[in-house]
């Protein structure tokens, strides 16, 4: 089966596309995810064209630059379906939620949009978001600097845990890079955001060690050593970088992680329910046993509650609101739900669940990777409490 976006009139035929995507996920993407995990090799030449032909990355992007303009509330159920596949395939679709296009769309000049946004939507360019640093974190404590020298900025620093969208030898075409361009005493107002081409002199990268999940998708270390970029690479105004990164980049992406938690939890829930109806011990299906029934009830309740939180954020974003509090709430709760449901699913499956004989083993590992993407649970609680106390 090959899912092609041109076979559907979007958004009028969105329901039909949704059903086709479900079938595509089970018949095509699931086997690819399993193969990639077993071989620990991401075949981008095979996977990215499938995702692009299906329109998954372009669906939420603005129409005036080549996307399909789906509203957030129309888009998130599609990501949920793909997230149920897990791993690198989920991440390839996740980039369409907004992290890789929204920042340049909202703050970029028309020249920057034509250079970066349009080819990104067409699938001609790939991007990474270079925020997290090994010695510090992802906020005002970053150490990367951008020193003004005439018509240029000179970048020095290092980033890590960066998600690539290509092989290590050619992981992307450009990077969003936050760096201090003003005095550190200004805190977040001293950070600026730069668009840095991967072929820029002084910009190098390399792989990080393998992770518990996301096999076949090695993360990157980005190195900037006297990396000279033109002043035209500045996105927005100088000193606006952290605001752009957090509200326009990370916030929608955190919501995407909540959706991804929902997709994995929903899939694990479905697998556990199905298995409980067929697994027989002592002459009875385990679905008839009170302990299993209680676990299934808790799993279903938590998945439903998370779906309502995700949907609430989507409706707010439809109105142009970036609800920072609710986004972090959905991500923090999503992590809890993915943990509870994956633990319970593993218990329902018993010993077979920890073998590679069943996808539960892989999905269990994938769920753990979601805990730290776009900020730990503690970071989400800091955002939530700040938004509540400052309201």
Per-residue pLDDT reduced to its tens digit, 280-314:
999 999 999 999 999 999 999 999 999 999 999 99
State how beta strands 127-129 and 174-180 pair.
parallel
User: CA neighbours within 13 Å on the CB side: how many for 327?
Assistant: 25
CATH code at position 160? 2.40.110.10
Q: Which domain holds residue 267?
A: 249-389
Paired tokens of 115:
């250079």
Per-residue pLDDT reduced to its tens digit, 73-100:
999 999 999 999 977 788 778 776 667 8
Distance CA 98, CA 72 (A): 10
pLDDT band at 132 (very low <50, low <70, confident <90, very high): confident
Which pLDDT score, from 0 to 100, does residue 52 have? Answer: 85
Claim to verify: residue 213 and residue 231 sit in the same structural domain: yes
Per-residue pLDDT reduced to its tens digit, 28-37:
999 888 888 8
Given a cut of 70, whether residue 42 has pLDDT beyond it is no
Claim to verify: residue 109 and residue 166 sit in the same structural domain: no
Domain boundary among 211, 242, 273: 242
For the chain, the average pLDDT equals 90
Claim to verify: residue 116 and residue 220 sit in the same structural domain: no
Which pLDDT score, from 0 to 100, does residue 84 have? Answer: 93
Which pLDDT score, from 0 to 100, does residue 329 have? Answer: 96
Q: Kindly state the average pLDDT of the residues 122-130.
A: 88
Claim to verify: residue 257 and residue 385 sit in the same structural domain: yes
Which pLDDT score, from 0 to 100, does residue 167 have? Answer: 72
CATH code at position 93? 1.10.540.10
C-alpha 62 chain-centroid distance:
19
Distance CA 23, CA 15 (A): 13
Given a cut of 90, whether residue 19 has pLDDT beyond it is yes
In the chain, what percentage of residues exceed pLDDT 90? 63
Per-residue pLDDT reduced to its tens digit, 162-210:
877 767 777 889 999 999 999 888 888 999 999 999 999 999 998 877 7
Given a cut of 70, whether residue 43 has pLDDT beyond it is no
Claim to verify: residue 382 and residue 263 sit in the same structural domain: yes
Claim to verify: residue 257 and residue 351 sit in the same structural domain: yes
Domain boundary among 242, 259, 280: 242
Claim to verify: residue 114 and residue 169 sit in the same structural domain: no
CATH code at position 291? 1.20.140.10
Distance CA 30, CA 89 (A): 9
Which pLDDT score, from 0 to 100, does residue 319 have? Answer: 95
Claim to verify: residue 30 and residue 96 sit in the same structural domain: yes
pLDDT band at 278 (very low <50, low <70, confident <90, very high): very high
Which pLDDT score, from 0 to 100, does residue 200 have? Answer: 97
Claim to verify: residue 346 and residue 219 sit in the same structural domain: no
Given a cut of 90, whether residue 123 has pLDDT beyond it is no
Which pLDDT score, from 0 to 100, does residue 44 have? Answer: 64
Given a cut of 90, whether residue 13 has pLDDT beyond it is yes
Per-residue pLDDT reduced to its tens digit, 110-119:
999 999 999 9
Claim to verify: residue 206 and residue 253 sit in the same structural domain: no
pLDDT band at 266 (very low <50, low <70, confident <90, very high): very high
Given a cut of 90, whether residue 27 has pLDDT beyond it is yes
Domain boundary among 100, 122, 144: 122
Paired tokens of 303:
């998945």
State how beta strands 191-197 and 174-180 pair.
antiparallel
Q: CA angle at residue 207 from 202 to 211, to 5 degrees?
A: 150
pLDDT band at 45 (very low <50, low <70, confident <90, very high): low
Claim to verify: residue 266 and residue 233 sit in the same structural domain: no
Helix/strand/coil for 9: coil
Claim to verify: residue 114 and residue 166 sit in the same structural domain: no
pLDDT band at 220 (very low <50, low <70, confident <90, very high): confident
The sign of the torsion formed by the CA atoms of 340, 341, 347, 351 equals: negative
Domain count, the chain: 3
């Amino acid at each position: 089966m090959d899912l092609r976006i041109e076979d559907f009139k979007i958004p009028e035929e969105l329901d039909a596309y949704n059903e086709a995507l479900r079938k595509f996920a089970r018949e095509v993407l699931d086997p690819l995810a399993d193969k990639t995990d077993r071989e620990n090799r991401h075949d981008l030449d095979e996977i990215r064209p499938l995702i692009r032909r299906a329109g998954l990355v372009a669906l939420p992007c603005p129409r005036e630059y080549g996307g399909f303009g789906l509203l957030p509330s129309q888009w998130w159920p599609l990501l949920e379906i793909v997230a149920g596949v897990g791993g690198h395939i989920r991440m390839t679709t996740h980039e369409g939620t907004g992290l890789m296009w929204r920042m340049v769309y909202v703050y970029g000049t028309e020249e920057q949009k034509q250079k970066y946004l349009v080819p990104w939507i067409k699938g001609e360019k790939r991007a990474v978001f270079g925020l997290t640093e090994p010695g510090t974190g992802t906020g005002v404590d970053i150490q990367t600097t951008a020193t003004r020298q005439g018509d240029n900025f000179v970048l020095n620093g290092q980033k890590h845990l960066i998600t690539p969208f290509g092989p290590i030898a050619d992981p992307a075409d450009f990077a969003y890079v936050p760096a201090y361009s003003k005095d550190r005493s200004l805190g977040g107002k001293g950070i600026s955001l730069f668009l840095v081409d991967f072929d820029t002199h002084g910009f190098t990268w390399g792989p990080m060690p393998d992770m518990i999940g996301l096999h076949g998708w090695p993360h990157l270390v980005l190195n900037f050593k006297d990396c000279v970029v033109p002043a035209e690479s500045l996105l927005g105004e100088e000193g606006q970088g952290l605001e752009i990164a957090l509200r326009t980049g990370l916030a929608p992406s955190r919501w995407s992680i909540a959706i991804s938690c929902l997709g994995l939890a929903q899939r694990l829930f479905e697998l556990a329910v199905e298995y409980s109806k067929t697994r027989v011990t002592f002459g009875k299906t385990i679905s008839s046993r009170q302990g299993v029934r209680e676990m299934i009830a808790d799993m279903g309740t938590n998945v439903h509650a998370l779906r309502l939180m995700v949907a609430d954020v989507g409706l707010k974003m439809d109105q142009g609101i970036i609800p920072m509090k609710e986004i972090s709430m959905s991500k923090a709760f999503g992590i809890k739900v993915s943990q509870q449901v994956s633990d319970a699913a593993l218990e329902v499956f018993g010993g077979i669940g920890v073998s590679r004989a069943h996808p539960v083993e892989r999905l269990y590992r994938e769920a753990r990777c979601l805990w730290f993407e776009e900020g730990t649970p503690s970071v989400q609680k800091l955002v939530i409490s700040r938004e509540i106390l400052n309201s």
